[in-house]
Chains A and B, each alone.
Chain A
Amino acid sequence: MSRLGKGINWNRLVRSRAFWLGAALVVLITVFSVNSIRSMGGEMFSYLVIDFFSTGIFMATPLILTSIGAVFSERSGVVNIGLEGMMLIGAFFGVMVSYFTGSAWLGVLGGMIAGGLTAALHAYVCISHHANQTVSGVAINVFALALTGFLLKAVFHRAGQTDRVTKLANWIMPDFFRNIPIIGDVLGSNTPPVYIALLLVVAAQVVLFHTPLGLRIRACGEHPEAADTVGINVTGTRYFCVILSGVLAGLSGVTLSLGQLSLFKEAMTDGRGYIAIAAMIFGKWTPLGAFLASLFFGLATGFKFISQSWNMTSIPTDFLLMLPYILTMLALAGFVGRLTPPAASGLPYRRRGSV
């Protein structure tokens, strides 16, 4: 039970290879960049820091939302490779609802419902019919690409991208917060999903590790038979978690199409669903860990952009472009320490004696 109850152990984090990997990266980047930074004025430097974190959080937000959804799904015992497709469907339906109603918030709702329904399909196939979860997830990704392309033509009568629609207005924080240097500049006025994502991290961590519901979810993912014996509704819990992951993926898609942009473009998720799954693994199947990993990926992407336009590094562009993916591979290869997925993740549950 102790393994189940563990969230993030800071002592272990400091001793882990992931920590040193990250530290080594920061040192490497600093060494390469120090010359150009030194030639910059102080004001320019703070501008650069703001740019770095703004771009990083911009790129991280969709990853945070999706990876937290992935944590719930896998913790309950269902692998959800289909998140990429659910994001795409969420992004499209968000734009479509906003287009017809003129309300971006209704669009957000529409995108979340569409993501949830797609996830319900995945749940139905995998939980009720014990299908292979990876195959179903991949099928959903292919299906989402085709469905959104088809609907784009049917509804908007064009290919490539939709018309521009009403997007979410920025939320503006109170003055005292906006006056904090750097933090105020980065988070003082931002698109609503950024704040939702940050609140969600805390909520998800609390629910998963400090409530009876969280205990039930984890029990279903570790030992569904034992959970069933003590009266937990395994099927119901798994349905709930998979649909929740779809709703969050939908929200993440809407973050792209209505929060950051104001239109849908075919295949606009561009692999973020897969990176989010990597972030979940990197973060060891905990919401807080997934958040930190997403933030790390986001900042790495942010760094690759700003280091180019600020001419501040002699690291080749190709390497910078590879960085997030190299980190993912390293994570998967076990460089972040032992990665233990939930024991029953990916396994359909059949009650003994049932057909």
Chain B
Amino acid sequence: MKRAFTLIITAALLLAVMAIPSFSKEYKIAIVFDIGGLGDKSFNDSAYLGLQRVAKELGAKTKYAESRTPSDYEPNLAAFAKEGYDMVWGIGFLMADAIEKVSAQYPNTKFGIIDNSWDDAWYKAHPNVMSVMYKENEGSFLMGVLAAMTTKSKVIGFIGGMEFPVIWRFEAGFKAGVEAVDKSIKLLRNYAGSFNDPAAGKAIAVSMIRQKADVIYHASGGTGIGMFEAANETKNVWVIGVDSDQFDLSPKWTLSSMIKRVDNGVFMGTKNLIDGKFKAGVTNLGLKEAGVGMAATTSKNTAAGAIAKANAWASMIIAGQKSVPDGMNEADRISTK
């Protein structure tokens, strides 16, 4: 009898403990980083800033996991879903396949992905996935303006990682920005074929310098590190970074960086979920939404006049008076003829 009583009490207590969270739901948000990992001073670090804001301002419980190889994406995402996390973020388009699989296996968990989108039919089949895309063409346009205002040789280079639509957005936006200032400037473009080959990036940058380029912009991930190395060594080229503020890689020769606010994307997407406004589909963040922009360090090496000009263009783009091509038309990309 006594034992039965104890059992009942214990069961009641257990039930009570389990019921408590339902009174005020604490959201659990997780991030899976791509192979760059935490400390990359770029994408992943920016996403982590967003996660910290989520914890601080929205009071959610947060956790992250790093991926050593691409085969880690799926188990990492699935582990969080299994642990009952409300929303799991995948940082970078490389995780698209993993998100596609895991989101179907865990329909009750919400997933967010940066830099990858699918068509409408896909989101109907995966109503628990949202994508954050950036209008890199708008940010790159400003970099083009800065480059054109700075060049003396009238030759400007662009280094891409691999050739596909995301990188075309950078290329076309940059070209439009340069041409908005001066149509007579000669543009060179070069695709390295890899996002992770800094030595190749340096070889390309040096080759561009041999052709008198005096400003180079890159959208090539780790490959672009070689471009900064070339600037440090040759001391006669201005360079422009991408994704995050890359000023530290070459404090003397960095004009600016086109920053992508992954933190804002993660924060905004999570906030929508907590506010009950989660919607499957694509959210595009441009200059207007503070999704892309100029790095804060731009004023260190760039003339005030150039920055003012870029800001003037930025306000025109925000006001909708100027549209920037997204590179899907070949004519908007840098000519190779």
Cα–Cα distance between A51 and B192 once the two chains are bound (Å): 16
Q: A338 interface residue, CB < 8 Å from B?
A: no
CA distance A266 to B40 in the complex (A): 10
Q: Give the residue name and chain of the B residue nearest to A304 (CB).
A: B193
Q: Are B37 and A311 in contact (CB under 8 A)?
A: no
- A321/B196 contact (C-beta < 8 A), A305-B203, A308-B336 known: no
A56: nearest chain-B partner, CB-CB: B203
Tell me if B327 is interfacial: C-beta within 8 Å of chain A: no
Specify which chain B residues have a CB less than 8 angstroms from the CB of A317 in the assembled complex: 163, 191, 336
Which one of A105-113, A157-165, A288-296 is at the B interface? Answer: A157-165
Partner of B39, one of A145, A160, A267: A160
Q: Return the chain A residue nearest B250 by Cβ.
A: A164
- A268 contacts which of B35, B197, B335, B337 (Cβ < 8 Å)? B197
Nearest-neighbour CB distance to chain A for B218, whole angstroms, equals 13
Q: List B171-209 residues whose CB lies under 8 Å from chain A.
A: 188-194, 196-200, 202-204, 206-208
Contact of B198 among A54, A158, A261 (CB under 8 A): A261
Q: What string of 1s and 0s marks CB contacts (under 8 Å) between B20-47 and chain A?
A: 0000000000000001111111101000
* Per-position 1/0 for A313-327, Cβ under 8 A of B: 010011001000000
Contact in complex: A267, B196 (CB < 8 Å)? yes
Closest to B223 in A: A270
List residues of chain B with CB within 8 A of the CB of A305.
Answer: 190, 192, 200, 203-204, 207
Bound: A58/B200 CA distance, A: 9
* Cβ of A149 under 8 Å from chain B: yes
Q: How far is the CB of A261 from chain B (nearest CB, A)?
A: 5
In the complex, which residue of chain B has the Cβ closest to the Cβ of A159?
B39
Residues on B with C-beta less than 8 A from A176 are none
Most chain B CB within a 10 A radius of its CB, from A305, A314, A318 = A305
A160: contacting residue among B40, B188, B204, CB under 8 A = B40
**Minimum Cβ distance to chain A for residue B335 (Å):** 8
Of the residues B35, B38, B199, B207, contact of A306 by C-beta under 8 Å: B207
Contact status B204-A159, CB under 8 Å? no
**Out of B68, B188, B211, B229, which one reaches A262, CB within 8 Å?**
B229
A158 to B197, CA, bound (A): 19
Interchain CB contact under 8 A, B163 and A268: no
Shortest Cβ distance from B97 into chain A, in angstroms? 20
Q: How distant is the Cα of A88 from the Cα of B226 in the complex, in angstroms?
A: 17
Mask, B298-337, CB within 8 Å of A = 1, is 0000000000000000000000000000000000000111
* Residues in A whose Cβ lies below 8 Å from that of B200: 59, 270, 301, 305
- Are B68 and A145 touching (Cβ within 8 A)? yes
Per-residue CB contact flags for chain A residues 136-163 toward chain B (1 = under 8 Å, else 0) read 0000000001100100010001111100
B222 at the A interface (CB under 8 A): yes
- Judge whether A146 and B191 touch: CB under 8 Å: no
Across the interface, which residues of B come within 8 angstroms of A270, CB to CB?
A: 194, 196-197, 199-200
Q: Is there a chain B Cβ closer than 8 Å to A299's Cβ?
A: no
**Which A residues touch B211, using CB under 8 A?**
51, 309-310
A260-B199 CB under 8 A given contacts A268-B222, A309-B190: yes
Is A47 an interface position by the 8 A CB rule? Answer: yes
Contacts of B203 in A (CB 8 A): 55, 58-59, 302, 305
Q: Smallest CB–CB gap between A144 and chain B, Å?
A: 12
Measured between C-beta atoms, what is the minimum distance from A235 to chain B in Å? 35
Say yes or no: A256 contacts B199, CB within 8 Å: yes
Residues of B within 8 Å of A261, CB to CB, are: 198-199, 202, 225-226, 229
With a cutoff of 8 Å between Cβ atoms, the chain A residues found around residue B335 in the complex are: 311
Of A47, A265, A266, the residue contacting B210 (CB under 8 A) is: A47
Distance in Å from the Cβ of B135 to the closest Cβ of chain A? 25
Which residues of chain A from 261 to 276 have any CB-CB distance to chain B below 8 Å in the complex? Answer: 261-263, 265-268, 270
Contact B207 A55 (CB under 8 A): yes
* Chain A residues close to B by CB (< 8 Å): 47, 50-51, 54-55, 58-59, 62, 145-146, 149, 153, 157-161, 164, 256, 260-263, 265-268, 270, 301-302, 304-306, 308-311, 314, 317-318, 321
| Besides A261-B198, A261-B225, 18 new A-B residue pairs in contact (Cβ under 8 A), listed by A number | A47-B210, A51-B207, A55-B203, A59-B199, A157-B39, A159-B38, A159-B44, A160-B41, A161-B198, A260-B202, A261-B202, A263-B225, A265-B198, A266-B35, A267-B35, A267-B196, A306-B207, A317-B191
5 nearest CB pairs, A to B: A159-B39, A160-B40, A321-B193, A270-B197, A158-B39
